[in-house]
Amino acid sequence: MRLLIAFLLPWLTFFTIGKPIAGIICLILQLTVIGWLPATIWAVYSLSQYKTDQKIEKAIGR
């Protein structure tokens, strides 16, 4: 579900993973038509990093 949000509303992805400042910056970037693609790429990349961090924490046992 978050991946779909990352494609449609990239800025919202950052709020769902607990990074509100990055979400605001992404929203400003997304407001420009040219910035939509970089904002989407950034959101998808951050989401994959978030999932990787969750797997590492689960493996460590925290």
Domain hosting residue 21, numbered range: 2-60
* Mean pLDDT, rounded, for 30-56: 90
Question: What does the pLDDT look like over 10-38, one tens digit per residue?
Answer: 889 999 999 999 999 989 988 887 888 89
Q: What do you get for the CA distance between the two ends of the chain, in Å?
A: 25
Give me the number of domains the chain comprises. 1
Neighbours of 11 (CB within 10 A): 22
pLDDT on residue 45: 93
SS3 62: coil
Using the structure block, give the residue that is written with the tokens 């605001």.
24
Angle at 60 between CA 46 and CA 58, to 5 degrees: 55
| Amino acid identity at 38 | P
